[in-house]
Structure 1
Amino acid sequence: MRSLSTLHALPLLFLLAACNGDTPKSDAPASAEEHHEDDGKILLNADQIAAAGIQIARPTVGGAGTIELPATIDGDPQATQVVSAAIGGRVVALMRNLGQSTGRGDTIAIIESREAASLNAEVQAAGARLALAQSNLAREQRLFAQRVSAEQDLITARTSATEARIALQLAQQQRSAAGGGGGALNRIAIRAPLSGQVISRSVVLGQTVAADAELFRIANLGSLSLALNFQPADAGRIRAGAPVQVQAAGRTGAARISFVSPALDPATRLIPAIATIDNRAGQWRVGEPVTASVSLSGPGTDKAIRVPSTAVQSHEGKTVIFVRTPTGFIATPVTLGDSAGDQVVVRSGLTGSEQIATINSFTLKAELGKGEASHED
């Protein structure tokens, strides 16, 4: 077995004297090169550990486990709406451009068309018929009070007024569904359905559009969504309301899980989830890639054992962590769980009370390899 070549360990020879004159025997390694055993042990004293720059610490025990994964900022589907043309026609006015704010009910475009003229004309005609019916009803009421007109005539006049009122309401609703008044008989105004910002505009001035064609997308960007995808094995530990730490270039933010899909995405075979993040300060952008650290729930997450990722090495096809012993270190096989930043969860192999090599643990791995090579020679 071999020691760290930079440590220049000095051999210790203990001579055992016996009254019968036997040859002295050594309990120490036969040379400064032999500092390993076959079971993954490395024999080092405190001075040698310090000289090699190996730092020692205990694992972190407790606290909720986390999983770190890439995510994308999306618009909140509950606060995003497509604005379309209810009727076909020519766009004669655009009141909002990309990025501009609008209030609910504000006119954002005007469409000119024959259908708009028909809708507006029907409203006016229905209004005129209602006025006439109401006038007839008032006359019949006077005549009936004077016992000049029959009751049947009064009933007929009242029915006509009611029908005219219903016709006017229907005409107004049809025009309102198309967008409302546009300032002229042949024009319809397109109004914003919610307060927010214009995030998409699909038309230009003078363009002829068909009915139901998309004109704008408006979103309230004060609250955004975070699109996440979990492995099926992890999705069972994600709960609605779980906190999420969001990180991007020079920025951090807090979000919460609002939805975890009960079904796998058929294309990716992952579990989609959505988190909601407050964006009233305007620091996040739709479509922006970020890193999300999601807090896990479930049995054992409050007793999770976490170690720095620099403490983890691979040896002979196994994942190992070097645990401090009275005489040096021993390579201990472990099973890893989720990672979060520079920390990784150890599911098995450690109790949490050990001292482990955290910095420069790769030098210990190298020494194991040297020892095995010299053994084979």
Structure 2
Amino acid sequence: MKILNAIPLTLALLLAACGGGTAEPEAHEGKEHGEEAGHAEGEAHEDEGKIVLSADQIAAAGIQIGRPTVGGSGTIELPAMIEGDPEGTQVVSAAIGGRVVALSRNLGQSVSRGQVIAVIESREVAQLKGEVEASRARLALARSNLEREQRLFAQKVSPEQDLIAARTAATEARIAHQQALGQVSAAGAGGGGLNRLGITAPVGGQVISRSVVLGQAVAADTELYRVANLSSVSLSFNLSPADAGRVKPGNMVMVNAAGRQASARVAFVSPALDPQTRLVPMLAKLDNRAGQWRVGEPVTAAIQLSGAGMADSAVRVPSTAVQTVEGKPTVFVRTAGGFQAVPVTLGTTAGGSTVILGGLKGTEQIATVNSFTLKAELGKGEATHEGH
């Protein structure tokens, strides 16, 4: 009887042991799946907001990169005018009077430095070139006489004073020839004839003005062309003396026009008032390598003001740099492989710039223009990730 009663108890213990053994692998398997899921979720979190783009792709998309502005105590909006950069604008004039017989460039066309862009026909040109030929002939004769006197002196046939005189004459002839060449060079270049002179471009750039027509008689120093290197343009505006005292070279200027916005930097603040307007003239430098700004175009300029004695550390970015991603204001920060979407906290917006209260340090490089293309790219990446 005792043996029969023990059999059910033994079976029960064996079944319990088998059940416990089965539970342990399930728990272990669940733990492994949990670790894999957590690892995948961590990778997805790390890639969130990341956009991979090459430098060529960034340039092709027209995305401009800049840095936030730190400091300042506000902005002021003023009308302004786009002008050619004074350092890159050159007047091409006729060095001598005559008749214009050739003009090889029209408005808007590109020119290279040293390229002949006009030809003038003049009696004065014929005289200059004639003097060059005459001085060249005198120089050749003087050198020949010098060689002859050197031989005669070496043979002790000619006295030393004859050799000295020949050497002096050769030197004078060489100087006269160099002067004749210099006069022609100062007037222009070869124009294809004895009485024609080519006028060359002193700088490379674009023709922004042409003041003469073919066949026109011009006097010396008459302006023929105006050539400008428009990869950089100037922004001219005027401030009241009170506001001008709060603007320093280097302050940021946000430039706004129809469908366009860019940032510039104050380059010059006049120390004197304009005698007619009683305002302070100022200039800012604006990058125009994309060719989107035209000389003579009116724009609106929002100038950053500096607070006297204020330790203002506000971070400002162009308003075009801020996009809304998943309901949050976002700025795209440049990384080694592209951009990273960074949520930010916004402050006030004025004059085309926005104050960033949190999210940026102010030392980052950010997408300032066409950042909406990065928002679209980010949306496509998220849609692809959800599809998988």
Q: TM-score, normalised by structure 1?
A: 0.64
Percentage of identical aligned residues: 70
Paired residues for 1:181-330 under 5 Å: 181-297=190-306, 298-300=308-310, 302=312
Opposite residue 99 of structure 1, the aligned amino acid is G
- Structure 1 pair 125–211 and aligned structure 2 pair: CA distance change class (3 A): same
Aligned mate of 2:109, from 69, 87, 100: 100
Counterpart residue number, 2:189: 180
Opposite residue 229 of structure 2, the aligned amino acid is N
- Structure 1 pair 244–106 and aligned structure 2 pair: CA distance change class (3 A): same
Preserved CA contact (<8 Å) 1:239 1:260: yes
Whole-angstrom distance in 1 between the partners of 2:353 and 2:150? 87
Query: How much has 1:210 moved relative to structure 2?
Result: 1.3
Query: How much has 1:180 moved relative to structure 2?
Result: 2.2
Unpaired runs of 5+ residues, structure 1, are 1-61, 305-338, 346-377
Preserved CA contact (<8 Å) 1:242 1:296: yes
RMSD, matched Cα: 2.1
Opposite residue 309 of structure 2, the aligned amino acid is P
Whole-angstrom distance in 2 between the partners of 1:256 and 1:63? 14
Whole-angstrom distance in 2 between the partners of 1:155 and 1:90? 46
Counterpart residue number, 2:75: 66
Query: How much has 1:340 moved relative to structure 2?
Result: 3.3
Whole-angstrom distance in 2 between the partners of 1:223 and 1:239? 20
Preserved CA contact (<8 Å) 1:80 1:217: yes
- Structure 1 pair 98–342 and aligned structure 2 pair: CA distance change class (3 A): closer
Paired residues for 1:2-21 under 5 Å: none
Opposite residue 340 of structure 1, the aligned amino acid is A
Preserved CA contact (<8 Å) 2:115 2:201: yes
Query: How much has 1:162 moved relative to structure 2?
Result: 0.6
- Structure 1 pair 70–121 and aligned structure 2 pair: CA distance change class (3 A): same
Counterpart residue number, 1:341: 351
Query: How much has 1:78 moved relative to structure 2?
Result: 1.1
Preserved CA contact (<8 Å) 1:120 1:181: no
Most deviating of 118-127 and 241-250: 241-250
Unpaired runs of 5+ residues, structure 2, are 1-70, 315-348, 356-388
Counterpart residue number, 2:163: 154
Counterpart residue number, 2:140: 131
Aligned to 1:226, what secondary structure does the other structure show?
strand
Query: How much has 1:178 moved relative to structure 2?
Result: 1.3
Q: TM-score, normalised by structure 2?
A: 0.62
Opposite residue 341 of structure 1, the aligned amino acid is G
4+ runs deviating over 6 angstroms? 342-345
Q: What is the number of equivalent residue pairs in this alignment?
A: 251
Preserved CA contact (<8 Å) 2:95 2:186: yes
Whole-angstrom distance in 2 between the partners of 1:344 and 1:87? 56
Aligned to 2:190, what secondary structure does the other structure show?
coil
Whole-angstrom distance in 2 between the partners of 1:63 and 1:255? 15
Query: How much has 1:300 moved relative to structure 2?
Result: 3.0
Per-residue deviation, residues 8-45 of structure 1 (Å, max 9, x unmatched)? xxxxxxxxxxxxxxxxxxxxxxxxxxxxxxxxxxxxxx
Opposite residue 245 of structure 2, the aligned amino acid is G
Aligned mate of 1:89, from 90, 93, 98: 98
Whole-angstrom distance in 1 between the partners of 2:190 and 2:159? 42
Preserved CA contact (<8 Å) 2:84 2:230: yes
